[in-house]
Amino acid sequence: MGGGSICVARALPIDAALVGTVLGHLRRDTRGSSTAWTLGSRGSAQVDVDFYPVISTLNIASENDPQVESPAWTTGARLWDPEAVAMVKAVIAVTVVTPDECEITISPDEPLTPWWEARRPALLELAQATIDELAEELLWHASAKA
């Protein structure tokens, strides 16, 4: 992660077996290759809907099996401040953490500019709002298409 220690996460109660299908529904139902949200005083976000499958390594608290591979999907995003002056390129990952739950994370894709470094709390709020919007979209697709 190029943005230092900034990472925002949210649990997503979607069955692990359905995640790929749910991401496919989001892609199918979105015009173009990205979706965007205006997030009020926090700013705005644009998320690519082409999630690519990857393997994520999860740390497990067992000495015999300290790490386990888990399915995950990743895509790019762009976050803007409320005046749309400064942008942060970000990576979003959806990772299976249990058979009944996934986690969405967002983190900067490259080191933060001095402008954003000085406004870390605002960036964290913007990232959380972005993850919340994406989670609601995915939950809707999971319930509407299940």
DSSP state of 64: S
- Mean pLDDT on 94-115: 93
pLDDT for res 89 = 96
> Using CA atoms, how far apart are residues 29 and 52, in angstroms rounded to an integer?
17
For residue 19 the two structure tokens come to: 């995640």
Q: Is residue 55 situated within a structural domain?
A: yes
What's the number of domains the chain is made of?
A: 1
Least confidently predicted of 4-8, 29-33, 84-88 = 4-8
Helix (H) or strand (E) holding 93: strand 87-98
Q: Residue 69: what pLDDT? A: 74
pTM of the model: 0.86
Residue 36 is assigned to a structural domain of this protein: yes
Residue 128, in any domain of the structure: yes
C-beta separation of 72 from 94 below 8 A = yes
Q: Using one digit for the tens of pLDDT, what is the confidence trace for 110-127?
A: 999 999 999 999 999 999
What's the domain range around 56? Answer: 8-145
3-class state of residue 63 by DSSP: coil
Calculate Rg over the CA atoms of the chain: 16
- Say if 22 falls within a structural domain: yes
DSSP conformation letters of 14-46:
--GGGHHHHHHHHHHHSSSSEEEEE-GGG-EEE
